[in-house]
Amino acid sequence: MKITLAFIVWLFPLHSLISQNGAPAFIDSLSLAKGEEWHGLANEAYENNIDSAIYFIRQAVPYFKKSGDQERYIVELLSLSVVLHHAGKFSRFQENAIFTLSEAKSMLGEKHPYYAGALNNLNTFYYDIGDFQKAIQMLKESLLIYQDSGQNRDTEGFATTLNNLANNLTWSGDYEEALEVLEQVRIIREKESQKDLIKLIMVYNAMAWNMD
């Protein structure tokens, strides 16, 4: 049985007030507030009615785009991918994940951590269909972006991407490299100021799996 891949989602990011070219960006606060209102409804509905959560996120997306807050818009698209996958709507998940990657590239550029997050989420499609080499390629690209942006070693996104890479390496039969990657995850988890014991236990379990 496959281990479920983790997704990267930033539910409440700091809103950027700088456009891609470095100039102050105009943020439509009314559209931003409306988007957050729909997002809040999605959070409330997620546990009991995932279809309603999908509907609410879809309502939020155009408001975030209209607001001019490009980062928040990409985050909401990432959230939509996660919920679609959890709902088992795999074809719609694939379409949205590809669209999100394209939007992140055009708005934020290929060096932005949210573009790395979009790569991480899209790799799940290749994992699901058993194309582990393609998933590994995308995850390694994602890790390089985190490293180049200075957001490696201390972010949840970086640790999650490493963990997903190790999982794909395991299923591709490269147990030695999977162990090396898991050791990096273990070090990150051990250094966290507030250790998540469940995540740490999962790392040790994965390491033991690769040693068998």
Following DSSP, what letter does each residue of 153-182 receive, concatenated? SS-HHHHHHHHHHHHHHHHHT-HHHHHHHH
User: For residue 68, what is the enclosing H or E element?
Assistant: none
Q: Name the pLDDT band for 18 (thresholds 50, 70, 90).
A: very low
Tokens read off for 130: 């058993």
Query: Phi-psi region for residue 66, left (φ > 0), alpha (ψ -120 to 50) or beta?
Result: alpha
Averaged pLDDT for residues 178-186: 87
Averaged pLDDT for residues 8-24: 39
- Whether residue 1 has pLDDT greater than 70: no
* pLDDT for the residue 11: 37
* pLDDT for the residue 76: 94
Q: Mean pLDDT of all residues in the chain?
A: 81
* pLDDT for the residue 150: 72
Tell me which residue of 178, 142, 147, 151 sits closest to 3, measured CA to CA.
178
Chain-centroid distance of CA 12 in Å reads: 13
Averaged pLDDT for residues 157-167: 87
- Whether residue 9 has pLDDT greater than 80: no
* pLDDT for the residue 191: 76
Tell me which residue of 5, 7, 8, 6 sits closest to 114, measured CA to CA.
8
- Whether residue 44 has pLDDT greater than 70: yes
Q: How far apart are CA 182 and CA 163, in angstroms?
A: 7
- In a 13 Å sphere around the CA of 72, the CA atoms on its Cβ side amount to 28
Averaged pLDDT for residues 68-91: 93
* pLDDT for the residue 8: 44
Q: How much of the chain exceeds pLDDT 90, in percent?
A: 52
pLDDT tens across 92-120, in order?
999 999 999 999 999 999 999 899 989 98
